[in-house]
Structure formats: C-alpha cells, structure tokens
A and B are shown apart, each in its own frame.
Chain A
C-alpha cells in the first residue's frame, strides 16, 4: 500500500526538480465522543513545482483533511509533517503565497464582487488600491466583467464560484488549493468551469491541488491523479495523465480519455478486489 512518490513525467529528467509540497507520514486522528476516529493513515506525497494534482476518492477518505493540513487548518498527528516550499504551512500562508477555494464560495454577503476578491489582500495587510489592476484582470479572467459592483446575493451559483476562484488567485499564490470548488454546480456548468480553470492554470502554472468527486474532472485537469480509499483514509494509487496541453473540451469525448476514466473508476473500487 506504500504510495510511490509523484512521477517525474512533467519535467526533463536531468534537471533537479523543485518540490513545492512535501507530505511526510502525515496522518490525522480526530477525537470524538465515541473515541478516536482515524480520518487519515500516515501518508506521504510530493508535489513538484508547477504540477496539477487531483485528489479523488469516496466520502470520508480524508482528501479534504489532507488539503486542510496543507493549508495549516489542521495539524497532522504526532510524527507527521507537512512542508510547503520547505516551510511550515502556517508560516507559508502568512506570506500570502497560498490561494484557497472551497466547495462553498464563502463570500462575504455585504461585499461587492471586487471587494470580495480583494479580501485576502486585506487579511494579509496589503494595500488594496495598488492591486486594483490585478483585481480587474481577475474579474475579466473569470468572465465577470460588468459585475464588479454586484453583491453575492445578485449572482448565480456559478458566478459566485467564479468569484471564489478569482479570490483564490488575487495574491498571485505559488500554491493553489481547491477543495471541490465545483462540487455544488450542475454538470454542464462544471464542464465549462473545468475548461476555464485549465485556461487560468495554463497562464500561471501555479502548483495546484484539487480535491474532487468527479472522475472526468480529475482526468481533464490534472497531471497526476491521487486515488484515495476510505476507512481509514489512505492513498491507493497514483496515476499519471498523459494528455498533452492545452486540453480542449473535445477531450471529453476522446476514447483514450474514457479508457483512463474507466481505469480510475476501477482503481476507486479496487478495495473490494484486494484481500
């Protein structure tokens, strides 16, 4: 069950590959009223710079917990460690190098689109005015031009989610964490957002970790898919995605794409087959 380290298929083999996220034997046990519950077995994983890694697995496999540990929102159990660019997550995030978006857009209802996107800058104590151009560029990037002054209540679910994506990019992060950001959207909108996210990622090459339920979403977006199993949460397999970039929407109907999706589905259900 030992997970092999992330492959080096993205970078030429001769250059020493910089690693952005190192997870070393990090597990997580939650104390509940009925005793300790192991959410995550100690696992190890390395994410190279510029990689797009998708974490996929059933509910309760600890994929969100893993992401929250990278964000420093959860601490790994004794003996485990998480390093982001050789720093402690808490120290790393204070430098504003981390971008994050959740399944729920979590927008402040009293702030306009532009002000919501500016929120991380304020938390970091950076001047908002100096970043006005960045904010405007992000609004254009996620296709919300003309909605700068709109309040979250006036937007559709998909538009709110795009605000959250723009907000996660406003600090120009070197590591981007996405926790099922399209989970609440319908399939059609989700595809459109996948295409959009790929375009955004392609322009920045930010190291990205995406937690998702969607097999096709993982295959379409990621270089590497980490398949996780539940009870207790653990890494089952790590699969590379060979498709060349930029990936076009037509990929969704490519037979190779479907073959890989089937392969992933098998891996997700593999736990029944193994002894």
Chain B
C-alpha cells in the first residue's frame, strides 16, 4: 500500500523534469521559443537580476492582499452568521452579494481611488473579491445541518441558539476553510487589479504595467510566474487545515450554486418587498457612499446623476455612442470566449471519462491553474497572441476553461456507481455511459459552471482590452480614467456590472427552464 503513492510521486517528479527539460531546450534553441517561451534558466537569471524590484513590488502586493484578505473574510464570516440567523436579511442583501460576485473587478479600482488614499483602494478591492466566495462557503456550511441532528437537538428542548453553538459553528469549519482557500488567490488578483486602477508605484500590477511595453519576455514570464506563486501560496496556506477538517479531499471551487433562502411562512408581498430591497440596496449604498464622504459630485456622481449622464444633456448622445461602440466590441468577444471555454471544458471533461488517463494528467494542472490570478496569464497571452482580438478571446477562454473543467469533472464523477454499472451490465461501453448517464447527471454542474464563469469571461476580456488591445469597454474605462472623465467611469462601471449580473441571472433563468 505504501509503495503506491511513492511510485505515483516519482512519476509526477519524472514528468515534471521532462517537461522542464523540453521547455529549456525549445526556449533556448528555437527562434519562437526565444521570443515567446523563454527558457526557465533565462527567466530565473532575469528574476535574479531584478531581485530588488521583485522585493519592492512583491512586498507591496503581499501586504495589500493579506490585509484585504483579513478584512474580507472577517466581514464575510459575520455576514454569513447574520444571513444564517435571518434568511430575510440574506434576501435583502441578494443584490449586493450578486453584484459583488459578478462585478468585473477591474472597473471598481478606478472608483475606489476617488474615495480612498494610499494603498487602500487595492486593499479594499482585494477585500471585495474575497467577500463573496468566503461568505457563500461559510453560509453553506452553517446551513447544512443533518436533519436528524436538528431533530435530536429539538427533542432535548434545544433551540436555534444551541443548534448554532454545538452543531452549526463546528460543522461549518471545513466549508469555511475551503472558502478561505478559494478566496486567498482572489485577494492577490484583487490587489493587482486595484493597482492597475490606482496608479500606485509599487506592486505587481505596477510592475506588469511598466514591463509590458519593454518587450522583455523573460521578465514578463517572471512576473506572471511570481504573482501566480504568491496566489498559490495563499491557496496552499489553507489547504492543510481544510484537509484535516474534512475527511474528503475533493476539489472545492466557488460555491456558485447558491441556494436562495426561502423565508418560512412568508407571504407573497413580503417576498416582493424583500426583492425590491435587494434591487434597491446597492444603489442606496452607492448614494450613501457618495453623500456621506462629501466627495465632489463631479468626481463621484450618485446613481441618479450617472443614469442622467446617459439620458440627458449635451454629451448624452456622444456618451451613449461611445459606450455602445465599446460594448459592441467587448460583448461578442466575451460571449465567444465563454462558449468556447465551456465547450472545450465540457469536451475535455467528457474525454477524461472516456480516457481516465487524461483526467489523471489534466486534473492536477486544472486545480492549480484555476487559482492562478488572471493577470498572471497576461504575459503569456501577449507574447503568444500579440495585442489584437485573438488575445482577448484567448484570455476569456483561459479564464473560463479551468474552473469550468474542474466543476464539470466533479459533475461527471458524482454519477452514482449503480447508474453506470447498470449501463455496463447491459453491455454499454463508456460512450453509452457518457451519453445516457454522465451528461444528464452533470447538467446541474454545467449550469453551475456557466454561472460561475460568465462574469469571469467579461472580466477576462476587459483586462485584455485595458492592458493590450486598446479597444472595447476595458479600454474605454482606462482612457476615461486617464482623461479624468468621471461620469464615463461611473457609467461604464454601472453598465458592465449590470451586464455581468444580467448574465448571471440569465443563466439561472435558463437553468430553471431546462431543469424542472
């Protein structure tokens, strides 16, 4: 028994060594290798030469993401406790939760700069990105109680307080740490995206911005790999406690399958009122933030003024035209990337069922890659695909592919053993199992994946546009930020968040229609 994992480890080590050897050879000898895939030795030497820059930028990003992470998870755990105690409160905050989940984070950075000084814009963005996955995982853990144990507590006269104290809090710990694990790399992503918008001098975001025009492939790769390493270190930090707490070591991704809480014994009007509050609350908070901070309405217009900016006034028509043009460039690319990424993930997940060896090779890579910060792939994308629209599509696909693959693979593996045994018993092969059993069983996971990655696709395209291609919504926001066109920054942010939330809700709507 003990030799089995040993042999497995040896095989992995051997495979990795071969991989690096090929990389080194191609990167050092071929012309495209030198231009696009520099040899590991060259990347390391460049990194050594840049060690002082790495230290300065690295400490800034690590500090920002760590503080942001701490703030984000604290708020998330408190929110999850409150939502667990009061499902009505969760319904009221649904708008905020979904907006925070679906927002393309890159649009928030330039807004936070208007209110906050120093490192705080990046820090707060990191916290905002951490909040949703940590909150939803914790809430799921708190809500999931064995009904028999709930009966047991009730049979001894215990109420909700005792159930919370003895069962829910401890039972939620594995989910809590799983949520932290997913959230930690997102804190790094939030910090870096925030650095793009805040124009700070130190941090990997700033490092990347300054390195992009220099055209030094080894340095670009180094930045990508280093920021991935920081994010993955955050992931690994919570791997051990999560493993120890939950006997299962299954892959945990963002809990995109959010169970909407049902208010028990609530009347229809009560639910409608809560839904109204859920829609209104984000705008109320926006209005409050603008009003209470006393920032000039020119820099920080409220919701009313931002909507008016697009409807009324001399510039309204021009603003609408600019926004529509940008959307026309961005949305098709995002949709294409989303569909291609999902299709590719589905095909590969299905293939790993037909050929399990593929899954064994693919899954570890996907598990790691889904936690790589999106900005870390920018260097690879720019070196291989250049700066035009292919880069944007590829970026969206890459963002979509890994989490979707992991979720779909999970879906395919949750198929009950008896169901696939039944197909085998009647002489059906793997193909029949896939068509008749695995795909129908995992349709829920397909929708969960779509809901999870739809907003990500938009974010991926916008990041590519911001940094590389110079067209579309991402670019419009970057240009407006540079040109101090505050009304446009707010309008662009509002529109892109609304589109993201719309995409999320649309997938949910389709799911409800398809799965009865």
- A residues within 8 Å of B by Cβ? 68, 71-73, 90, 93-96, 98, 100, 102, 104, 106, 108-110, 119-120, 122-124, 153, 171, 177
- The residue in chain A whose Cβ has the minimal distance to the Cβ of B157 is A94
Question: In the complex, how many angstroms separate the beta carbon of B73 from the nearest chain A beta carbon?
Answer: 21
B-side interface mostly: helix
Interface residues on B, range: 10 to 19
- Assess the B170–A110 pair: CB atoms within 8 A: yes
- The residue in chain B whose Cβ has the minimal distance to the Cβ of A94 is B157
The contact of B158 among A95, A108, A123, by CB within 8 Å, is A123
Question: In the complex, how many angstroms separate the beta carbon of B383 from the nearest chain A beta carbon?
Answer: 49
Question: In the complex, how many angstroms separate the beta carbon of B51 from the nearest chain A beta carbon?
Answer: 45
- The residue in chain A whose Cβ has the minimal distance to the Cβ of B167 is A108
Name 26 A/B residue pairs within 8 A (Cβ), A-sorted. A68-B151, A71-B151, A71-B155, A72-B154, A90-B157, A93-B155, A93-B157, A95-B157, A96-B156, A100-B156, A102-B151, A104-B148, A106-B151, A108-B166, A108-B167, A110-B171, A119-B152, A119-B166, A120-B156, A123-B156, A123-B157, A123-B162, A123-B166, A124-B156, A124-B158, A171-B156
A-chain residues with CB within 8 Å of residue B158 when the two chains form the complex: 123-124
The contact of B154 among A73, A95, A102, A177, by CB within 8 Å, is A73
B-chain residues with CB within 8 Å of residue A106 when the two chains form the complex: 146, 148-149, 151-152
Interface residues of B in 157-203 (CB under 8 A from A): 157-158, 162, 166-167, 170-171
The contact of B151 among A73, A90, A96, A110, by CB within 8 Å, is A73
- The residue in chain A whose Cβ has the minimal distance to the Cβ of B165 is A122
B35 is an interface residue with CB less than 8 A from chain A: no
How far apart sit A72 and B247, CA to CA, in the bound complex (Å)? 34
A-chain residues with CB within 8 Å of residue B155 when the two chains form the complex: 71-73, 93, 98, 100, 177
- Assess the A108–B156 pair: CB atoms within 8 A: no
10 cross-chain pairs, A with B, having the tightest CB-CB distances, nearest first: A94-B157, A106-B148, A123-B158, A123-B156, A100-B155, A93-B157, A120-B156, A71-B155, A106-B149, A104-B148
B-chain residues with CB within 8 Å of residue A153 when the two chains form the complex: 247
Question: In the complex, how many angstroms separate the beta carbon of B315 from the nearest chain A beta carbon?
Answer: 54
How far apart sit A93 and B153, CA to CA, in the bound complex (Å)? 10
A-chain residues with CB within 8 Å of residue B162 when the two chains form the complex: 122-123
B-chain residues with CB within 8 Å of residue A94 when the two chains form the complex: 157
- Assess the A96–B166 pair: CB atoms within 8 A: no
Question: In the complex, how many angstroms separate the beta carbon of A126 from the nearest chain B beta carbon?
Answer: 10
The contact of A100 among B152, B170, B171, B247, by CB within 8 Å, is B152
- Assess the A124–B148 pair: CB atoms within 8 A: no
- The residue in chain A whose Cβ has the minimal distance to the Cβ of B146 is A106
A-chain residues with CB within 8 Å of residue B166 when the two chains form the complex: 108, 119, 122-123
- The residue in chain B whose Cβ has the minimal distance to the Cβ of A102 is B148
- Assess the A124–B152 pair: CB atoms within 8 A: no
- Assess the B156–A93 pair: CB atoms within 8 A: yes
Question: In the complex, how many angstroms separate the beta carbon of A109 from the nearest chain B beta carbon?
Answer: 8
Question: In the complex, how many angstroms separate the beta carbon of B245 from the nearest chain A beta carbon?
Answer: 8
B-chain residues with CB within 8 Å of residue A123 when the two chains form the complex: 153, 156-158, 162, 166
Question: In the complex, how many angstroms separate the beta carbon of B147 from the nearest chain A beta carbon?
Answer: 9
- The residue in chain A whose Cβ has the minimal distance to the Cβ of B247 is A153
Most A CB within 10 A of own CB, among B151, B166, B171: B151
B-chain residues with CB within 8 Å of residue A71 when the two chains form the complex: 151, 154-155
A-chain residues with CB within 8 Å of residue B153 when the two chains form the complex: 123
- The residue in chain B whose Cβ has the minimal distance to the Cβ of A125 is B162
How far apart sit A124 and B162, CA to CA, in the bound complex (Å)? 9
- The residue in chain B whose Cβ has the minimal distance to the Cβ of A104 is B148
Given A102-B148, A123-B157, A124-B158, 8 more pairs with CB closer than 8 A: A68-B151, A72-B155, A73-B154, A98-B155, A108-B149, A108-B170, A120-B152, A123-B158
